[in-house]
A and B are shown apart, each in its own frame.
Chain A
């Protein structure tokens, strides 16, 4: 995509029927750090890579709680994402106030998409430069949607957006058919493995990723660093173990005692 005479404002069509400003907005999403979402019949897991401006600063928040039963992960212009999250929270609260019941996620994404469409048809506005992975519940169970700057939205079993998301998508494409009946723990493991794919070689540490879960009977919550690190340890240790001891639990237990013995000779061994 190169500069041309039809890309100055969003209200100009190109002769080939394209709105370049909208397409440029979608490019902004591809520049953001990766965000991944997957769902089973009852749970949705959202994960993202923590990117910081510099070593001195903290990383930006890319996963937001919208309500107990809806969460959103963003990629692109995080400021736009923050504002849209506030809009989603407001819609959710107003719906609950009027109808005394939680806003079905399918309705919310339509509101979001309509809001995004407005910005593609006003000369004094610009499209939102953020892609949103909206995970939530309605009466039929868990759902994952992707909202683009164009005003389109799609439902997914699993999806990844942002930079190097293709690697994660390839991983998810291989595994998505089993997600529907996955347990929550397996879903989390797949999410973190998908995040690892986007890092392409960089060692996966719990400080590099943020993971959030929501499901039927489980309100939206972030996983703490310890839990994430434990999941990472299960598959990192399995990779290191020479003898295939089979079963992630055994691998973890086998790895722990040698470390203890080496670390502190005075402490009694943990395993008998």
Chain B
């Protein structure tokens, strides 16, 4: 009996791309709605964005079964927090919780590539980007998932602050308005859809502000 190599994997990649951009008093979280496996499409309108708390929204690409399980765990933990503290979790608190939850499964990870967006305690937009085992960083913008390699360099070009070492000195970026950020998101997804086969169908954009959240749906190429 020849030892067979494992041809069963506990993981699958359902594709898709997630992006988030932080503004001065808003946060834009966007993801495409295509769910795939291999070269097949499972769904054209599957939402990868999930609101965890009033001021914290999670968007995850990767293995959606693990993403769903992760969302359930975070939702239960948030309920416990609310019972104990009589208030909702802040975005930075949720960011730390997500990191701890991911690392808890360091040796059988959640196959989830997360971007957490929301408003911090001062009301400013914040974005946290993660790897599968919980390493995270607070950033001004991020992209994760199958189209991230196409989108991230473009976001760097448009949003990254110029280095303070440059000569002649360039001033830092003017703050991005909400409309500009939403427009940028639409542009990057339209471009990523062109070349990434796992990204497309439609784009779900969630804008989180102090007074609430607005969701918008934009059509993307379906091929």
Contacts and interface: CB of A to CB of B under 8 A. Distances in A.
A164 interface: no
Contacts of B79: 89, 93
Contacts of B72: 97
Interface string A141-162: 0000000000000000000000
Contact of B83 (A65, A94, A96, A97): A65
Interface string A88-100: 0110011011000
B83 to A, nearest CB: 5
Interface string B78-121: 01100100000000000000000000000000000000000000
Contacts of A97: 72, 76
A222 to B, nearest CB: 11
Contacts of B76: 93-94, 96-97
Interface residues of A, number: 8
A70 B80 CA distance: 15
Interface string B49-88: 0000000000000000000000010001001100100000
A93 B72 CA distance: 10
Nearest to A94: B76
Contacts of A89: 79-80, 83
Contacts of B83: 65, 86, 89
Nearest to A65: B83
A90 B223 CA distance: 46
A90 B79 CA distance: 10
Contacts of A93: 76, 79-80
A93 B77 CA distance: 9
Interface in A50-103: 65, 86, 89-90, 93-94, 96-97
Interface in A81-134: 86, 89-90, 93-94, 96-97
A96 B79 CA distance: 11
13 contacts: A65-B83, A86-B83, A89-B79, A89-B80, A89-B83, A90-B80, A93-B76, A93-B79, A93-B80, A94-B76, A96-B76, A97-B72, A97-B76
